[in-house]
Amino acid sequence: MGLQQKHPLSRRHFCFCCMTGAAFVATGSWLTPRQAYAEARGLVTLIKESAASSPVIPYKLRGNVTLLEGSGGNIAVLTGPDGKFLVDAGISVSRPQLTQALSGLSPEPITHLINTHWHFDHASGNDWLHSVGAKIIAHENTRKHLSEIQRVEDWDYNFLPSPAGAIPSEVISANRTLKLNGASIELKPYGPAHTDGDVSVIFGEADILHAGDTYWNGIYPFIDYSTGGSIDGMIAASEANLAAATDSTIIIPGHGRPGSNKSELKEFRDMLVDIRDKVATLKKAGRTFEETVAAKPTAAHDAKWGQFVIDPPFFTKLVYAGV
């Protein structure tokens, strides 16, 4: 693929959300849909292979909550006598490493899984986790996207319906509180943001917020317009995340450096707002997408945020589509 030579990618940062950005970077120009499709297929394989051999690394956070990194999006696990409660399922091929990491935490079985959204790198582990006892909870739109053929335009890719065991058996469309392992767990739908099915998970006593893919720590985020995402939705979700956090809250991003905080989240929100304003001004003035990219509306932020596969032109495209 030549991808790793061209980009300072660490294995842990491979994620399914980034395929088109990577395809763009690899060739230096926009791909035709057919080329993008071929590239995307190659990258799916690459990402799966990468996850299959990547270690899953546990980080103890606070109050029986551990973060597992190495299988797609960041996974959170709450342990205790009621059973393990997981936020996100990772990529299915990581089952051996995840099984080992999970049993290293505590002996209880896995009883609950919540999907922050439907994407492959957060939910393709649903089937095996269900087979070992997890009840799956998700937003009703996540169930819909997992149940049907789902096209993601920016990846030029059609996802097949998930197997029956992978489909969430319980859906939410409004806030919901659970009590498990002595912890108060709040599930809060964001409204359309990264997708139309994003849900945050707050562990009350431990003061931990899992923001799913509404927050990418230190890197430009992917936004999935095919299933309801938008730049304005991402900004609104960032405001909701900031409102839910205090200076001592541990914030788990969907991707990027695991274990973040309110001040880093603020920088993410400010970056989104600034680029949105600049791109909107250019688009309003009649600039085409190519002219907008040439004006470099992300320039002030690229050194910090543009070092990953969602590169400046691709992120500009994601913002331009929504303003």
Smallest gap, in angstroms, from Cβ of residue 143 to Zn ion?
A: 16
| Contacts (Cβ under 8 Å, ≥6 apart) of 237 | 190, 191, 193, 194, 198, 211, 214, 215
Smallest gap, in angstroms, from Cβ of residue 238 to Zn ion?
A: 15
- The residues pairing with 138 across neighbouring beta strands, listed in sequence order, are 171
Burial of residue 5 (number of CB atoms within 10 Å: 0-12, 13-18, 19+): exposed
Smallest gap, in angstroms, from Cβ of residue 15 to Zn ion?
A: 8
Nearer residue to Zn ion within complex by CB, 9 or 310: 310
Smallest gap, in angstroms, from Cβ of residue 194 to Zn ion?
A: 6
Smallest gap, in angstroms, from Cβ of residue 198 to Zn ion?
A: 9
Smallest gap, in angstroms, from Cβ of residue 281 to Zn ion?
A: 28
Nearer residue to Zn ion within complex by CB, 213 or 311: 213
Smallest gap, in angstroms, from Cβ of residue 41 to Zn ion?
A: 19
Q: What angle do CA 158, 160, 164 make, to 5 degrees?
A: 155
Nearer residue to Zn ion within complex by CB, 283 or 305: 305
Nearer residue to Zn ion within complex by CB, 75 or 293: 75
Sign of CA dihedral 161, 167, 170, 173: negative
Q: Are 166 and 91 in contact (CB under 8 A)?
A: no
Nearer residue to Zn ion within complex by CB, 114 or 206: 114
Nearer residue to Zn ion within complex by CB, 17 or 235: 17
Nearer residue to Zn ion within complex by CB, 76 or 293: 76
Q: What's the token pair of residue 169?
A: 């058996």
**Residue ranges in contact with Zn ion by CB under 5 A:** 17, 119, 213
Nearer residue to Zn ion within complex by CB, 151 or 296: 151
Nearer residue to Zn ion within complex by CB, 231 or 282: 231
Smallest gap, in angstroms, from Cβ of residue 14 to Zn ion?
A: 13
Smallest gap, in angstroms, from Cβ of residue 300 to Zn ion?
A: 25
